[in-house]
Amino acid sequence: LAELRRSMPRGVFSLSTVVRLSAQMLDAIEAVHDSGFLHRDIKPSNFAMGRGTGSASRTLYLLDFGLARQYTNAEGEVRPARPVAGFRGTVRYASRNAHANRELGRHDDLWSMFYMLVEFASGQLPWRRLKDKEQVGIHCVH
């Protein structure tokens, strides 16, 4: 999706496209969470559109589970939080919890998705030019 957005005039998707993408992103993230996992690296380049014709070309896929972590135990209960979890994710799209090195939860994947949607609709995030992880974490909105 990152490449697709950059190819758009003004680098933004239409509002209707953002709404349609958000529904599919939410479904994909929900499927991961329902399996007992957190993705922990939700960002545009980890989503891809299907290839081919018809509905296949309009299907969104979630990719790259390299930072995924199981958040439930064998009984399906949420695992206790670690005192310090370490940063996981991509600085630009990471939640404030990630920037604070806190244990991540399902809501943190959703914050990352929200930041993506803001960028899709407006073309940028307020902290886009910041490189320092701590500075980005201060500017993230929750």
Residues that are catalytic: 41
Cα Rg of the chain (Å, integer): 16
Residue 11: closest CA among 114, 92, 125: 125
Show Cβ contacts of residue 11 under 8 Å, excluding neighbours closer than 6 positions.
5, 123, 124
CA distance 24 to 2: 16
Scanning 35-127, the segments in alpha helix (DSSP H) are 96-99, 106-122
DSSP structure class, residue 36? T
